[in-house]
Chains A and B, each alone.
Chain A
Amino acid sequence: MLVTERLRLHDDIGAWVAKHGATRAALIPVLQEIQRSYNEISEYAMQEVADRLDIHPVEVYSVVSFYSFLEAKARGRFVIRLCRTVSCDMTGKDRVARQLENDLGIRFGETTRDGNFSLEWANCLGMCDQGPALLINDQVFTSVTPETVHDLIQACRKSFGPLAVQGQKGRTH
Chain B
Amino acid sequence: MSSRIERTASISRAPVSQRGHVVPVSADPEAIGGTVSVTIDGIEAKVPLGTTILDAARALGLKIPTLCHHPDLEVAGVCRICVVEVEGQRTLQAACAFPITSPIRVQTHTRKVRQARRRILDLMLSKHVGECYTCFRNLNCELQTLAKEYGVDFFRFGHEAARRHQVDDSSYSVRRDMDKCILCRRCVRTCIDLQEVGVLEAVGRSDGTRIATFLDKPLNDVVCINCGQCINRCPTAALGAMDPTDDVWIDINDPKKHVVIQTAPAPRAAIGECFGLPPGTPLTFEMNTAMKTIGFDRVFDTNFTADLTIIEEGTELLLRLHEALVQKKDVALPQFTSCSPGWVKYLEHFYPEMIPNLSTAKSPQQMFGALIKTFYAQKAGIDPASIVACALMPCSAKKYECNRPEMCDSGHKDVDYGLVTRELGQMFHEAGIDLPKMPKGSFDDPFGTATGSGVIFGATGGVMEAAIRTVVELVTGLKIEDVFAHADVLPVRGFDGVRYVELPIPAIGEVPDLLKMNKGLPFSDWKWLEGAVLKVAVCHGTANAKRVVEDIKAGGTFSKCHFIEFMACPGGCLGGGGMPIPTSPEIRAARAKAIYAEDASYEIRKAHENPAVIRLYQEFLTDGPCGEKSHHLLHTHYTPRGKYIA
Contact = CB atoms under 8 A, between A and B. Distances in A.
Contact of B215 (A24, A51, A59, A72): A72
A20 to B, nearest CB: 14
Given A47-B643, A57-B214, 18 more contacts: A24-B13, A25-B15, A43-B215, A46-B214, A47-B214, A47-B644, A51-B643, A56-B192, A57-B643, A58-B199, A58-B200, A58-B214, A61-B201, A62-B201, A65-B205, A66-B203, A66-B204, A72-B215
B192 to A, nearest CB: 6
A65 B205 CA distance: 7
B213 interface: yes
For the complex, would chain B's binding face be called helix, strand, loop or mixed by DSSP majority?
loop
A56 B191 CA distance: 10
Contacts of A55: 13, 198
Question: How many residues of B sit at the interface, in one of the four size bands?
Answer: 20 to 34
A58 B198 contact: yes
A72 B204 CA distance: 12
* Max chain B C-beta neighbours (<10 A), residue from A43, A51, A61, A62: A62
Interface in B339-365: none
Interface of B: 13, 15, 192, 197-205, 212-215, 222, 643-645
B15 A57 contact: no
> Which 9 pairs of residues, A with B, have the shortest CB-CB distance?
A56-B198, A62-B201, A58-B201, A58-B214, A65-B203, A57-B214, A66-B205, A65-B204, A62-B203
B645 A47 contact: yes
B203 A59 contact: no
Nearest to A72: B215
Contacts of A58: 198-201, 203, 212-214, 222
Nearest to A23: B15
Contacts of A56: 192, 197-199, 201, 214
A47 B213 CA distance: 13
A61 B213 CA distance: 9
Given A43-B215, A65-B205, A66-B205, A59 B644 contact: no
A55 to B, nearest CB: 7
A51 B192 CA distance: 15
Contacts of B215: 43, 46, 61, 72
Interface in A22-60: 24-25, 43, 46-47, 51, 55-59
Nearest to A65: B203
Nearest to A25: B15
A65 to B, nearest CB: 5
B410 to A, nearest CB: 38
Contacts of A46: 214-215
Contacts of B201: 56, 58-59, 61-62
A57 B645 contact: yes
Contacts of B643: 47, 51, 57
A65 B214 CA distance: 11
25 contacts: A24-B13, A24-B15, A25-B15, A43-B645, A46-B214, A47-B643, A55-B198, A56-B192, A56-B197, A56-B198, A56-B214, A57-B645, A58-B198, A58-B200, A58-B212, A58-B214, A59-B13, A59-B198, A59-B201, A61-B201, A61-B203, A61-B215, A62-B201, A62-B202, A66-B204
A47 B645 CA distance: 8
Contacts of A24: 13, 15
Nearest to B210: A65
A122 to B, nearest CB: 14
Contacts of B213: 58
B192 A59 contact: yes
A1 to B, nearest CB: 10
Nearest to B206: A66
Contacts of B214: 46-47, 56-58, 61
